[in-house]
Structure 1
Amino acid sequence: MTVSDPHVVMIRSVVPQTPEGCADCLRLGTPWVHLRLCLTCGHVGCCDSSPMRHARAHAHTVGHPIVQSFEPGESWRWCYVDETMV
């Protein structure tokens, strides 16, 4: 984790709200490619390679900047504000 990213203070211990997939894609019936977990509230959204890019939309709309990959075996984190790994 990069300590210099000021947004790490928004990371919480979260439980995925929709572990079965992207919350918005499930509601809309749209496909996704990969999933991202909001580390502030537990929202599960789809990645930037997905047609709807719900994880990025959530980050910018709600103000929760950091996600973690929600793919099996991956644990990297990304800050949408700084566009960098954290």
Structure 2
Amino acid sequence: MNNLYVDDLRDCPDGFTVARTYVEAVELIENNEINILTLDHDLGEDTEGKEMRNGYDFVKYICEQGLRANKIYLHTDNPVGRKNMY
């Protein structure tokens, strides 16, 4: 089982695989059993300054696809994003 850390900026903790984008996170959760999933909400901007798909988009995808992790943590500093992901 893998531990997945989804964050575009922070250093990845030991024992986790990092996904810096929504696309990387989707690929990892589709192809691995996830024990611990820890999520940031804001996952950066594209080259035109538009917000990229974020942690909330990822949570919606997980729910729609019936995917799961044994434990989920929300490590975002964005209070609105945290509430939406929860």
Normalising by structure 2, report the TM-score.
0.31
Instruction: Report the structure, 1 or 2, having the larger strand content.
Output: 2
